[in-house]
Structure formats: C-alpha cells, structure tokens
Structure 1
Amino acid sequence: MNPNPDPEFSTEVGIVAFDAAGCITSFNHGAEKISGWPGELALSRPLDAIFRLPEEQISFQMLLPRPGRQKQIEVLHQNGEALTLLVTQVQLPSNEGDTVLVLSDQTEEQAEKKLQSYFLGNISHEFRTPLSALNASVELLLEDLGQLSQAEIAQLLNSIHFSVTGLQTLIDNLLESTSIEAGQFRIRRRKTNLHQVADEALHIMRPLLTRRQQTLTRYIPRQLPIVKVDSTRLVQVLVNLISNASKYSPIGETIELTLRVDGNSLHGMVADHGPGIPLETRTDIFRRYVRLGDKDEAQYGVGLGLSVVKAILEQHGGQISVADNPGGGSIFEFSLSLEEGEGELP
C-alpha cells in the first residue's frame, strides 16, 4: 500500500494512515498544513490525540465514515481553533493493514454557508419592515386624508420617504453584491463635481438623519477640481458610510464627512461617535454578510454595505480602513485614484 499520492495532490489535501491500534503511520504535508501538527510529532501517536474534538465525550475515530464514504467532522487545530474537515475513508483491499483517510479543510466554506444562511434568513425581515411601514402610511392617507392635518400628512409622507430610501439602499447593495460575485462589477468614470456627489448623498440620507435627530457636518473645500470618477458609485460609498455612522451613533449626535483632493487622489473620511469597532474585527467587517453590531439588532442591516464600498473603491484603485475616533466611535478613511485605473471611460 502507498498512502501518499503524488506531491501535487498532497499539497491540496491531507492524507493520513493509521493502524489497527489507532496510531498514525503516515502523515503527509497536506495533513500537517490542515492540522498544524508537524509530521514527526504526529507519527506513531494516536489518531484521536492529533484530531481532537470540541466535545471530548466522543473520539474522532468513532465519527469516521465507512469505507468509500465521506463525512464532515469538526475538530480542533493544533492551536485550539475550530476546523471543519471533510473526511473520506479510502476503500482499500481487505488484505491491506492500515486505514487511509483523505482530509479536506472546509472551514472557510462552512463559515461562508453559515453567513449566507443567516443573510437569507435576515433579508426578508429587512424588506418586510420598510414595506410594512409603507403600507401602514399609505393606508392612513387613503382612508383618512380628509381628516388629517397638514402636519399629520407631512409626518406620514416623511415616513414613506424614509422607508423608500431604506429599500433603495438595500436593493442597490444587493444588485452590486450580485455583480461583484459574478465578476461583472465595473465602474464608469465621468467628469464629476464632488460637491454634487456630497449633496446627493445627504439628500438620500436626510430621512434617516432627521429621524435620529443627527447632523451631518461637511468639511469640504469650496474650490475642488472636477474629477473623473463613477459618480453614482461614489454616492453609494458615501451613503453606506453615512448610514452606518448614523445607525451606530447615539440619537442627536453629529457625523463628520471630509473630502479633499490631493494630487491624483481623492481622500475621504466619515467619523461617528458610536461604540467603536474592536481591533480584531476590523478586517472582517469588509466581507460580505458580516454586520457590525449584534445580530439581534434589526437596524444593523444584512452586512453588504461595507463589502460594496470596498469593491467600489478598489475598482477606482483605492482602499478603505477603519480606526478609532479620538472623541469616541470610529473613523472610516478611504482614498481612490483620480486616474483612469480599471474603470471604463465613456
């Protein structure tokens, strides 16, 4: 028996062989990479000592699939982190002494599936809430228009505007996320007035800011050059960042928006006064389906906005990062190239 396949295959999967006593007899490079255990330490040790389970009441060997079958098993990496392995027991002739397992690390795939499952479960709520508010406001207008005061009508119209704005932002992010996943996301640079971009973003966000009694303070030089960017996508960047800042800042707080042009680069910043973002999660928040806040809080959305922001900026040859606001909260800083980059010029 030769439990080790060709080297190219070994780098992608783990191959482990063990004897009738449950001790490891072969441990390839792929198994080392997946488990975190060096081969020299794994050889001759019990299989269950190398592939430990989060629940110690049962052993790894007890969960193995039958020969020719495969099964997902959660184990612990050598450093203690949880892994999801797809384990296949190789069907061997009956006269072969050792048992051979093929291991594939499915941890990231499983995490993505869980995030997608959560996203699909949450998206219906995200649509239902503004649609219910829209329906209620329209019904009141239809049934009681003659009895409503001007102030009451204005309040209902503001509620409708707020709900439509929320739906528009959600749908925009869904469409952009779909095109990003399909590899069809592109930008179209046009001559753009940055003051008009900021004005449009504020117009879209005004219902949310008004409802939360918040003020957007703009630090934008009066004299700015006309630049070539995808103005629609840049508005979307500002809308998503201002929306996050609003949702995470206390009612009545001020949000700061800064834009400036430095040579061939546009630099921007949106600062809030919310709870801030832990250092260990600052990379993850720009992934799809990852939300900033508690998953039980409906206001925190479906986790698409920041991933769309990152994709738009990267298509412009730019980037985004997050840091602590010295006054409390977070600062999202971004930059993009004003040169042609990867975008399509009309």
Structure 2
Amino acid sequence: MDSRSPSAEILIIDDEESIIDGCRQALEKTGYSVITTMDGTTGIRLAREKKPDLAFVDLKMPNCSGMDIIELLSKEIPELVLIVITGYASIVSAVEAMKKGAYDYLPKPFTPDQLRAVAQRGLEHRFLKIEATRLREEKEFMERNFITFVSHEMRSPLVTIQQYIESLKVIADDVLPPTAKDIIVRCEKRLENLQDLVEHWLDVSRIENGTFFKTREPLQLNSIIEKSIEELSPLCQRRELTLGADLKDSLPGILGDQESLLRVFTNIIGNATKYTSAGGTISVSTDFDEYYVIAKISDTGIGIPKEKLPFIFEPFYRVRGKEERQKGSGLGLTFSKKIIDAHEGKLEAYSKEGEGTTFVLKLPRVQAE
C-alpha cells in the first residue's frame, strides 16, 4: 500500500481527550484509519501490534515520557514516522525529540488543516524512506549476483571467441596475408584486455562480498615488496626507469593474505611505470609507528591533477595523460583500495601535477604481547 494514500493508518498518543477526539475527526474525515490511546504504555503496545504508518506523540504523558516513547519506537520500528504534539515544550524540547527520532513537531493549539498538512508531509517522508530502502536493497541484490552474471554471461563467450581465434590461426595461418594476421593479433590483444577487465571486476565483487580471501596469516611486508620489485624490475629496465627500495629493518609483522597484497604492490608500482617518463624514478620505502606498518610508493611521473585526485579509487576511473604508455582496466586502484580496506588498513594518495605521486599504505601491525 502506498503510505501517502488517505487509507494510511495513524496512531495518536495523547492524554487529553479533546485532542484525541479532534485529531480523530480531522484525520478520519480525510480517509485515514486512526488508532488512539491516552496511555503511553498502551501506545507502545499498539505501535508494536498494529505497525501504523505514522504516530503523533504528546511529550507530556502521565505515566510514560513522550521522549522515551519516541526513542523506543524509532529504534524498534524505524519505518514508523513520529511527530511530536505538545503544548508545553519549548523549541529545545522539540529539537531534542527530533534527535531521538521524531520527524516533525506540531505545537498546540493547531487547526485541523495544520494537522492534516503535517500528517501528509510525514507520510510523504515515510514513502520516500521506504523507496530509498527498496532501491538500496535492490542495488545490493544486483551487486551480490553480479559475479554469477559475469561468470556465466561474459566469461564463457570470451573463452569461445579465444578458441575460435586459436583455431583460425592453426587452420589459415599459412594462407593469411600479413594484414589479416595483424588484425588477428589486434583481436587477441583486445580480447585479452576484456578478459582482464572481467577478472578484475570479479575480484572487486569477491572482495565486497567477502569471498576473495577468508584467512590471514602472519606476514612480513618487506618480503612482499621485494617480490613485487623482482617481478617488475624487467619492465622498469625496458622502460628505462629506476626502481629502488629503502626497506626498514626489523619491521613488525602484519596479518594478511599474501597473494592479494602482492597484487596491490604490483598494481601500484605498475601504475607508476605508465605515468613516469624514461629516466624517471620509482621508489618504495617502509616504516612503522605505534599502530601501523607503513609503505610508501613514490614516482617522479606526471602527477595527478588536484581535481582528479579524489576520484582515482573509483571503478573505471582513469587519469588520462599523454605520458600514459598503455591502457588499463580502470580497476587496479579500486582493487587495491578494497584489499587494503579488507585488511583494516588505509590507502591514500598524494600528488602534485608535474612532480609525481606518492601512495601511502598503512596496515595494522601485529602488537607484541
């Protein structure tokens, strides 16, 4: 039922019989279903049993504070819209009631038109809240099912296309002219990029639903960084970049997933190679403080414009520049941020256009007993 309609159910909790009767007549004349009580405890029971769409609550009740009723019902029935009606409370009391969960405030005395206007506004608010909740739940459902969709609807066709290309190369490689072979190579490269994109997005989805990694083990961050440097050194040599490290000795241990953290460092260092010109430097250093083991990855590349820096961890966002050597999926930094978040750490970026970028990774250290 659309809670904005006149058939909505309204509960009135007030200890004045004249207020109860006046509100009932004004609201029932509009078509609302009205439940009334002059007792606060009974009002709580009716709210629990009847689940009304909206409730008017008097702050000054003989056996139960209206403030307590509002605080209780706002927690127990969050979809219930609560409106304060009272003749003695100040604006301070009204503000306090709204802090505890009331939506609006109607001072006594009030006219039937004022009552109906506030009721209509409250029901509109309830409808919007319900719609927002529905849309959020729908979005979460779609995100939870995205992995299944990608797995079945995208991965299988990509594998089939790859098999067709391989078959074409075997069957017709000897008869194809160089231009056709070049087209096949381009197709393979595009297909590889698309497969990487799908895999990266699957990884991001798995991180969000908690299935990417389930266990953590004691690790030394320096050893993970050394492996990533070893992996990327040949690439840096080809691109005439200096890749150096200043790793602090006796670094405290961390708890984490080695493979995912290794990917974080290869992502960020690999990203630096795309935006750093030949002759430039990429440096990695480690340190620690009372709470975190800290790694910094700095480059002397083109930097990130100030207005783009807040968006670099968003999915598919890429800082395009003339120095960029190759295109990526736009998910590498998103993946890295979510992995560090999943480790209860922090990933931050600092940059100045034309001078370079520094990524700072902080992972909780294992505390000595």
TM-score (norm 2): 0.48
For the pair shown, which has the larger CA radius of gyration, 1 or 2? Answer: 2
Greater percentage in helix: 2
